[in-house]
Structure 1
């Protein structure tokens, strides 16, 4: 970046960033060292670099700009923005560069205790959209199959296979059949106990409420089980759920899965089918997950977001929420374009 940041009209102080930059007003860096209010950059060729997840002060803004300079990312404009009145303002920087800067942006954000994302065409919260979510370790904090195994006394055996599958070391279908087979004979009261106490991921209920209020459609596409996905439909206002069906006989699991397996390819099909059903443009689709079997769905969406994801998933995702509330997805849907 050729522009000097040394004398930009910001001070490296602990004062809140909104003391010097007005929320939702783009500032143009010009004359090498001046910040002036400017219009929103509407070019579709560049990228929006989003920083969020902590209270920003003037020193943070200057340091992020300096780190962008070190990473040879040319900055032309920046703005503060606030998805909702209760969320702390995030920082968005516009660059004309189209090169892949996801990794350096995440790295420099982490240096300031922030989360970072680089998005070329962010979906808009203000237009109808579609969010398709994985369930286990995304919408809820647990892997249901592991917890059934824990209650049944075969946790270590099942968890080892789950870890291989989520890391992409074992084909999902193979891992599913192997794990479910170990649950043969588990009685339904054990499953009901788990179903009645599903622990939601922080912020997911609030996120779903905000999205529904803005006319978004919501769905779960899970390699888990319908028993649990159906239980989440009402509390999260979901339009649809897709998951695997466990065979049951005499109020016990048989160790078999019924019907077509919901694997990575099926998840992507679900996203495309729902987008067509609801008349949602591809740009307005978002897929969210944590495991390797979510990558195809995430690639098919307008925006693919890793949630507390495995390293491989974070690396390939368009954006990642690596800590904190899922309401932070709203930062990626509220960029003032």
Structure 2
């Protein structure tokens, strides 16, 4: 049986919103955070916010390495255990994020998710490491992108699940995914009201408890400690 689960990164695997941390370091947080919140709450289309935020921040390659480590340092309780347990139960684990791929790869690798199963937006840099744009063709830089990724990686799956905190994560439902809203870091009422399942506790082991049968939980009990 093919089982595929997709985790959002920001405010799901990690307690931070990477783009907002970048904005703070660039001194443009007051301009960027409202764009992030509006996009995640569904008041602004993602594509309208994406380029605007990066044009304000203009992150360099070195800064992204620091954000990648910060993702690891601020990982949500139970993230490592949940990914290990799901993998042991035969789930194919992916990370799907509208965040910056170079930074998201760091936490995904730490959690044991291979690079090929990390879906995020690549940035481009010039020879000096300065920001030179982003992959505008990435579906994750526009609304509906997570549905596209879910449809592609979930092709032929018997079970397809999306875990995330924002309205873009709900889009995966359009591809047949069962959406688990995660409010352990940030509670977004639109997600809490629309997601078929919702977790308020800031512990990703709750995802495993929701998906696994009693005998499966017994098999991975040690991994969940």
* Same fold, TM-score > 0.5, yes or no: yes
**Deviations 1:55-106, CA, capped at 9 Å, x for gaps:** xxxxxxxxxxxxxxxxxxxxxxxxxxxxxxxxxxxxxxxxxxxxxxxxxxxx
Asked if 1 retains the 8 angstrom alpha-carbon contact of 2:163 and 2:180, the reply is yes
Residue in 2 that maps onto 1:103: none
- Is the 8 Å Cα contact of residues 76 and 202 (structure 2) preserved in structure 1? no
Over aligned residues, Cα RMSD in angstroms?
Answer: 1.9
CA-CA distance at 1:302 after TM superposition: 4.1
Within 1, Cα distance between the matches of 2:17 and 2:202? 19
C-alpha distance in 2 between matches for 1:197 and 1:173: 25
Equivalent residue pairs, number = 205
Aligned to 1:252: 130
CA contact (8 A) 2:150 2:177 kept: no
Q: Which has the higher contact order (CA 8 A, sep 6+)?
A: 2
Tell me the CA shift for residue 334 of structure 1: 2.7
- The whole-number CA distance in structure 1 between the counterparts of 2:65 and 2:202 is 29
Partner of 1:266: 145
Name stretches of at least 5 consecutive residues in structure 1 with no aligned partner: 1-126
Aligned-pair CA distance for 1:190: 2.5
SS at 2:180 equivalent: strand
Report the TM-score when normalising by structure 1: 0.57
1:289 equivalent in alignment to 2:169: no
Q: Does 1:243 align with 2:120?
A: yes
Alpha-carbon distance between aligned partners in 1 of 2:168 and 2:2, rounded to the nearest angstrom? 26
Match of 1:224 in 2: 99
Alignment partner of 2:175 out of 284, 297, 300: 300
Q: 1:235 Cα shift?
A: 1.9
Of 14, 17, 33, 1:159 maps to: 33
- Structure 2 stretches of 5 or more lacking a match? 216-225
Q: Any idea what SS the aligned residue of 1:132 has?
A: strand
- Following TM superposition, by how much is the alpha carbon of 1:188 offset from its aligned partner in structure 2, in angstroms? 2.8
CA-CA distance at 1:266 after TM superposition: 2.1
Q: Equivalences for 1:137-152 in 2 at 5 Å?
A: 137-152=11-26
- Counterpart residue number, 1:50: none
In structure 1, what is the Cα distance between the partners aligned to 2:41 and 2:54?
18
Q: Is the 8 A contact 1:131 1:286 kept in 2?
A: yes
* Cα distance in 2, alignment partners of residues 209 and 196 from structure 1: 20
Higher helix proportion: 2
2:147 & 2:112 partners in 1: Cα distance? 21
Describe the shift of the 1:194–1:132 C-alpha distance in structure 2 as closer, same or farther (beyond 3 A): same
Change (3 A) 1:213 1:335: closer
* C-alpha spacing 1:247/1:302, structure 2 compared with 1 (3 Å): closer
Q: Distance in 2 between matches of 1:134 and 1:272?
A: 15
Compute the displacement of 1:336 (Å).
5.6
Q: What residue in structure 1 maps to residue 53 of structure 2?
A: 179
Shift of 1:242: 0.8
**Higher Cα Rg: structure 1 or 2?**
1
Shift, 1:214, TM fit: 1.0
- Is contact 1:131-1:285 (8 Å) kept? yes
Whether the aligned pair in 1 keeps the contact of 2:45 and 2:143 (CA below 8 Å) is no
Matches within 5 A, 1:67-106: none
Question: Alpha-carbon deviation of 1:220?
Answer: 1.1
